[in-house]
Structure 1
Amino acid sequence: MLQNALPEQARARLADYAKLLRIDRPIGTLLLLWPTYWALWLAGNGSPSLANIVIFTLGVFLMRAAGCAINDFADREWDRHVERTQDRPLTTGRIHAWEAVGLFCALCLISLLIVILFTNTLTLYLSFGGALLAFIYPFMKRHTHLPQLFLGAAFSWAIPMAWAAEANELSQMTWLLFTANVLWTVAYDTFYAMVDRDDDIKVGIKSTAVLFGEADRAIIAMLQALVVFILILVGRQADLGSFYYLGLTVMAALFVYQQFLARERAREGCFKAFLNNNWAGLAVFAGLILDLTL
């Protein structure tokens, strides 16, 4: 392999860059990808252009990596106090702060260039909002207990962008999908924040997990119920059939399972509940494709 032909120091640097950009942890990319695909397939009436599928698959990967770089830059002083993050390359000094900022800017510029070259004007205008949300989210945990809400907006902004690229307009359904995904993101990222809650309280990091306290699982359950309800409204507006609603049923069943996983609020259980959301997003996408194709 080409990597094995490189000097050991170069291999170590590449491994650190991969860790900074979370290339070794694709869960964030997948959680961003499924709702983007929902939007593409709905806006394209079941047949989105191959070009847009490629553009937004690549864009999701690039912008998720950019978000990870700026997140670690923002948290570089705090991460050393959190068990899960204390070995990140920026926190340990294996990567410099300016490198993380440079990677964020470079990845955003590449994404912008793709939008300029291969999509339309409306998508281009929307892309600036996406870049802004990706930049400000990591700093919100210093100022508000709702950084998960800003993450939800950042993770959901690909929905109007994808819709605009495919249909050259936005609709009520676009914003229903956007709202459902914001709520879903807040729910699953609260599970994620529950993993670090004890450490976060010690160092003063704010999150919905800290804000919700003992009501965390109940509030997550309410958010999950709202997600399913709004996606039912989407199905009614799009005149979708049984396969789509079967996908929603699977999502709802997985939400119940996630509550079971996190029942004791243990780190491992909460993390498993967070990871399980990948299958919830896939279930909706699979149901949507089957319904629009068959």
Structure 2
Amino acid sequence: MSSSVTSPSPRSASFTQSIAAGLEPWINLTRVSRFAGTMLVFWPYAWGLTMTARSANLPIPQFFYLLLCGFIGASLSHSAGCVWNDILDRNFDRQVERTKGRPIAAGKISVPGAVAFLWAHLGIMIWMVRDVNALAWKIALVTMFPLAGLYPLMKRITYWPQAWLGISMNAGVVMAWAFITGSIPTSAFALLGGTWAWTIWYDTIYACQDKKDDVKAGVKSTALLFGNSIKLVLALFASIMMGGLILAGILNGHDLPYFLLSVGGGSLYLAVQLYAVDTDSPKSCWAAFHRNGFNLGALIWSGFLADYVWATKGSVLTDFASRTMLA
């Protein structure tokens, strides 16, 4: 008995490789392989949504559906921001070692092609929010256009581009409240303040990767502004972040799981990270940035989620007990 294995023809393999080679620059343009950026857009929305769900007694199935929608929106938003940033910064990127190989800077993708690709992202995002209420619609439009749109220009005119980015990246906090309740309470603004400080924390660390090249290219950032006092200033913003979380938790009536995991666990993680990061080492800075996108974001969300489930289960048990006593 004999068997034979049919291998792909050279022409078929060549066609597949050609398609992969053609798609690679577009995939690289979105930074989809560097998922930490998407998660940093997603976590503020997830925190705000979970906070809103607890306060508004949102059913758990609806909560997870909205969480999935937010994740898709965060992915599109991050990719669109990367495309727009690379269009405007293509001349700067050619002067920085870490970014000179980016598709637009390297000439692999044309500017008109990138603009069309950007509008495809924006079109999907606008379609996703087409049926939201008036307040949520306004927040979505402001976030997509002036906030995200003007950020790449900030690094040309101020050493505080991270402050502008902090508003843009964390609009999901108030978007979640506006979408579900049609209003934005004080607790949401407290959380927004905390996430704003968090953005300055992690994006300053991220910018430390390019300090030398940024000086030559004329790019401004908080990494250059803070200079030799960078760890001291980072400690200040970490404190502001935790202060925002504490105030938001108090105003929204959160319980022990939130303060134990989100506040206590988050504070400890930030302290360890501040001690460990070497702001003069690009490798160390990238690792710290990556850990913010995955580990710290998830740790803080676990407190929000545990508290939401705790409150939901408690409500269910109370209702059951009430019905039993009435019966």
Amino acid corresponding to residue 58 of structure 2 in structure 1 = S
Aligned partner of 1:288 in structure 2 is: 304
Deviation at 1:264, TM superposition (A): 5.6
Question: How do 1:241-256 and structure 2 match up within 5 A?
Answer: 241-247=255-261, 248-256=263-271
TM-score (structure 1 length as normaliser): 0.94
Aligned partner of 1:20 in structure 2 is: 29
Contact 2:204 2:222 (8 Å CA) reproduced: yes
Point out the more displaced range, 170-179 or 191-200. 170-179
Is the alpha carbon distance of 1:224 and 1:51 closer, same or farther for their aligned partners in structure 2, counting shifts above 3 Å? same
Deviation at 1:55, TM superposition (A): 2.3
- Distance, in Å, in 1 between the alignment partners of 2:175 and 2:13 is 39
Runs of 4+ residues over 3 Å off in structure 1: 3-7
Deviation at 1:277, TM superposition (A): 1.1
Is the alpha carbon distance of 1:171 and 1:195 closer, same or farther for their aligned partners in structure 2, counting shifts above 3 Å? same
**Residue 57, structure 1, aligned to residue 57, structure 2:** no
Amino acid corresponding to residue 64 of structure 1 in structure 2 = H
TM-score (structure 2 length as normaliser): 0.85
- Distance, in Å, in 2 between the alignment partners of 1:235 and 1:19 is 39
- Distance, in Å, in 2 between the alignment partners of 1:165 and 1:55 is 12
Aligned partner of 1:271 in structure 2 is: 286
**Residue 131, structure 1, aligned to residue 144, structure 2:** yes
Contact 1:77 1:91 (8 Å CA) reproduced: yes
Partner SS state of residue 159, structure 2? coil
Unaligned runs of 5+ in 1: none
% same residue? 31
Question: How do 1:196-215 and structure 2 match up within 5 A?
Answer: 196-215=210-229
Deviation at 1:291, TM superposition (A): 1.4
Query: Between Structure 1 and Structure 2, how many residues are aligned?
Result: 291
Unaligned runs of 5+ in 2: 1-11, 311-327
- After superposition, what is the alpha-carbon deviation per residue over 1:225-274, rounded to whole angstroms, capped at 9, x for unaligned? 11011101111112212211122222111211221232462211122222
Deviation at 1:72, TM superposition (A): 0.7
Is the alpha carbon distance of 1:92 and 1:165 closer, same or farther for their aligned partners in structure 2, counting shifts above 3 Å? same
Contact 1:261 1:272 (8 Å CA) reproduced: no
Aligned Cα root-mean-square deviation (Å) = 1.8
- After superposition, what is the alpha-carbon deviation per residue over 1:43-85, rounded to whole angstroms, capped at 9, x for unaligned? 1216362442232221111111100100111111111221211
Point out the more displaced range, 90-99 or 8-17. 8-17
- Distance, in Å, in 2 between the alignment partners of 1:264 and 1:236 is 34
- After superposition, what is the alpha-carbon deviation per residue over 1:133-176, rounded to whole angstroms, capped at 9, x for unaligned? 11111111111111111111110112111211111211111111
- Distance, in Å, in 2 between the alignment partners of 1:264 and 1:55 is 35
